[in-house]
Structure 1
Amino acid sequence: MLGLMAARQAGLDDPARLRRAERTRRVLSLELNKDRDVERIHGSGINTLDIEPVEGRYMLSGGSDGVIVLYDLENLSRKPSYTCKAFFSVGRSHPDVHKFSVETVQWYPHDTGIFTSSSFDKTLKIWDTNTLQPADIFHFEGTVYSHHMSPVATKHCLIAGHRQEVLAVSWSPRHEYVLATGSADGRVKLWDVRRASGCLSTLDQYNGEKSKASSETANTAHNGRVNGLCYTNDGLHLLTIGTDDRMRLWNSSTGENTLVNYGKVCNESRKGLKFAISCGCNPEFVFVPYGSTIAVYTVFTGELITMLRGHYSTVNCCVFQPHFQELYSGSKDCNILAWIPAPREPVPDDISEKSLPQQCVNPAYEDAWSSSDDEG
């Protein structure tokens, strides 16, 4: 790292390389932070979390009791130990509280003045953050398991909400009209909302090799319910997870199963499972609720890096804070835990370039000079 910093300072290396290296180091050192608590407000399990993308400061949570809470993640006290306080909550006494479990909360991608929530009470609500009153309420005939607003749309303000047995939805961060959905029938579909027919493709775990697939599993992404999906930040790949205890990585342009093997990914959830992908690392990582733990895998090789342990019950959701490479998780134990990069070891004052490991020294610093006494 010191070699990268010296090369960056001298203008001999790409500045993005140092950023990627430090972000990757921070993710690899994530640990349960004993000095940072998140105020406990929920009286039942936490199903969903979302951090607003504008400042990365405010976090929403939704619980099985229908309660919604907004937290301030910034350490205003500047003390080493602090608690992330709840700004407000839509509690059971609120006149517009959801009657049943809140399954998804999401900030409006461009402004913290609006957020959305959907619930098993068959409603989706648009909230004014300042007044804490619903600006609009949409009523559906069936249960709303999940919803999502496009992070890149400039020509539409559509919210994708599916009823009954569609358990996960996600807009592409690359193409504003493309939507991915996962269903209880094991299928994952890609949609273009501008097309009359709608569906662009149905992902096939066998990549069209029907001879290897039975008629029951042909044109399915998983051999079980698909209850979680998430695009990589560049939108080039899509990760899906199913109750067949498998996670799959897909090329979002071709619909091809990349066949990355993550091993058994335990998934016993009967509803949506919210997992997260890192941003700006090399390699990128995916954080997946795995029973009472969170499994950390490399996205493109499938390697299991570590298991984050700290919850007492099933983890339902996690969200990644890309500005500081922090992770927050919600569980049936009613707790939200903060996973923070371990502090870097202090650098000795007397360190010199010669004391650095050889591989850390940029080749540009190697001595290529010769004195006149050595010549002839």
Structure 2
Amino acid sequence: MILALKAGLDDPLRLRRAESTRRVLSLTLNPDREVDRIHGNGINTIDIEVVEGRYMLSGGADGVIVIYDLENYSGKLHYTCKSVCTVGRSNRYVHKFSVETVQWYPYDTGMFVSSSFDKTMKVWDTETLKPAEVFEFEGNVYSHHLSPIARKHSLIAVGTKDPKIHLCDLKSGSRIQVLQGHRAEILSVRWSPRYEHILATASADSKVKVWDVRRASGCLFSLDQHNGDKSKAASEAVNTAHNGRVNGLCFTGDGLYLLTTGTDDRMRLWNSATGENTLVNYGKVSNGNRKKLQFAVSRGCGPEFVFVPCESSVAVYAVHTGELVSTLRGHYNNVDCCELHPDYQELYTGGKDCNILAWIPVLRSPDVEDEPKSANQAAGAPSSVNQAFQDAWSSDED
């Protein structure tokens, strides 16, 4: 395979996709990598910046925000990802209550944004650890999100206890727009990674709405788990995405599909352009979280995988078939958030046990043949995932 690549017979994208898939399928808790234990209460949210892939943010139920350096400069196999700086309880600008969401500014590491149950969202200067801007709201803030691709706007979507979605402009420092249509608190908001004006919102009213923020006429559509079949929806509310609170949203890397999670213990995959429920069956996905659930989707793999906190473990599913590929166990209490490293297919998870755990791909043994099937079978993937893995090497692709 390597010889074929060197000779120009294989597309390098195929190697990258196959290796990314192998790494995701071989994730295991790494005993040689630890993350500083700073939080005195549960960890609600983490985020890794995409500019260098070096720094990670965390926010906890104690109101504390921590920045970690993920790089290993010790020269030793065993090392700890150290805390670089902390917005702790002694900081005059610290959030008074639980931090629900943290996110790096997508284009440089000089700024990040946090939101909290103290009814504020703060835009921080990383150098000074002081807020450059503070947005205040009437209710608890459950979620916020900055678009990872936007060039024509600098909007932050914010979900609060108020059923309205607030759009805040980073440039002007003001709230410029409100989206109305939900009937309960907004638990999660997410911009499309494909179209910068498309926004998805999830609410405790069991609904998921998709918006084009340039339009003043309301949402584009509400997701309907029954795809318009009124006979199936007879005993339930019309146009509900779940039969419970919808607390998780995540687009696939290409933005073509949207995954949602709800307190009905279900996860669903939707066509983000049409709103159609693809009817992929993931089985029971335990979810008792009444706030936002942060889960993650792999990128650059064939097939794609989703990592979902399920009580004290993380379940790994094949996105388009619904197969449970593996279960990652290591936390002592419920897991509330997980984040994939943008470059290395490493997974970081945070939970109510106050720990952040690092899940790292197992290195391939030198005596194992360089065949994707061997690596995949060693990871214990189901047969159809094995087949999809082989498809990543199909000469007809790319």
CA distance 1:104–1:352, change in 2 (3 Å): closer
Question: How far apart are the structure 2 equivalents of 1:73 and 1:45?
Answer: 20
Cα deviation per residue 1:222-251 (whole Å; 9 max; x = unaligned)?
Answer: 000000000001000000000000000000
Aligned-partner SS, 2:21 = helix
The residue type paired with residue 242 of structure 1 is G
Q: Residue 95 of structure 1 aligns with which residue?
A: 92
Whether 1:335 aligns to 2:332 is no
Distance 1:237 1:104 in 2: 23
Cα distance in 2 between the residues matched to 1:298 and 1:17: 19
Equivalent residue number for residue 231 of structure 2 = 211
User: Which residue is equivalent to 1:67?
Assistant: 64
Q: Residue in 2 aligned with 1:374? A: none
Pick from 268, 280, 303 the counterpart of residue 260 of structure 1.
280
User: Which TM-score applies when normalising by structure 2?
Assistant: 0.86
Please tell me whether residue 280 in structure 1 is matched to residue 300 in structure 2: yes
1:153 matches 2:173: no
Q: CA deviation at 1:259?
A: 0.3
Match of 2:271? 251
Is 1:140 matched with 2:137? yes
Shift of residue 215 of structure 1?
A: 5.3
Per-residue deviation at 1:208?
A: 0.6
Displacement of 1:217: 2.6
Structure 2 counterpart of 1:40, one-letter code:
R
Q: 2-side partners of 1:35 and 1:189: how far apart?
A: 43
Gaps of 5+ in 2: 162-184, 375-389
Preserved contact between residue 247 and residue 291 of structure 2 (Cα < 8 Å): yes
* Aligned counterparts of 1:352 and 1:56: Cα–Cα separation in 2: 28
Distance 2:218 2:49 in 1: 30
Question: Which of residues 241, 245, 253 in structure 2 aligns to 1:233?
Answer: 253
Structure 2 letter corresponding to 1:180 = A
Task: Output the CA distance in 2 between the equivalents of 1:273 and 1:28.
Answer: 23
- Say whether residues 1:105 and 2:102 are aligned partners: yes
Give deviations 1:243-302, integer Å, cap 9, x for gaps: 000000000001100000000000000100000000101111000000000000000000
Match of 1:299 in 2: 319
Report deviation, 1:363: 11
Q: Is residue 28 from structure 1 mapped to residue 25 from structure 2 by the alignment? A: yes
Q: Distance in 1 between matches of 2:66 and 2:303?
A: 33
Q: Size of the alignment, in residue pairs? A: 353
Structure 1 equivalent of residue 212 of structure 2: 192
Equivalents in 1 of 2:191, 2:65: separation in Å?
23
How far does the alpha carbon of each residue in 1:61-96 deviate from its partner, in whole angstroms, 9 at most, with x for none?
000000000000011112100000000000000000
- 2:246, 2:262 within 8 Å by CA — same for their partners in 1? yes
Give the aligned CA root-mean-square deviation in angstroms: 1.8
| One-letter code aligned to 2:337 | C
- Measure the CA separation in 2 of the matches of 1:143 and 1:91: 20
CA distance in 2, matches of 1:157, 1:250: 27
Counterpart in the other structure of 1:368: none
For residue 372 of structure 1, what is the aligned residue in structure 2?
none
Tell me the equivalent position of 2:120: 123
Q: Map Cα deviations across residues 2-43 of structure 1 (whole Å, 9 max, x no partner).
A: x2x221111111110111111111110000000000000000
Q: 1:253 to 1:10 in 2, by over 3 A?
A: same
Using the aligned pairs only, state the percent identity.
70
In 1, distance between residues paired with 2:365 and 2:49? 31
Change (3 A) 1:46 1:363: closer
Asked if residue 346 in structure 1 is aligned to residue 366 in structure 2, the reply is: yes
The letter of the residue matching 1:269 is N
- CA 1:363–1:102 in 2, change beyond 3 Å: closer, same or farther? closer
Q: Which amino acid aligns with 2:203?
A: S
SS at match of 1:210: coil
Asked if 1 retains the 8 angstrom alpha-carbon contact of 2:48 and 2:342, the reply is no
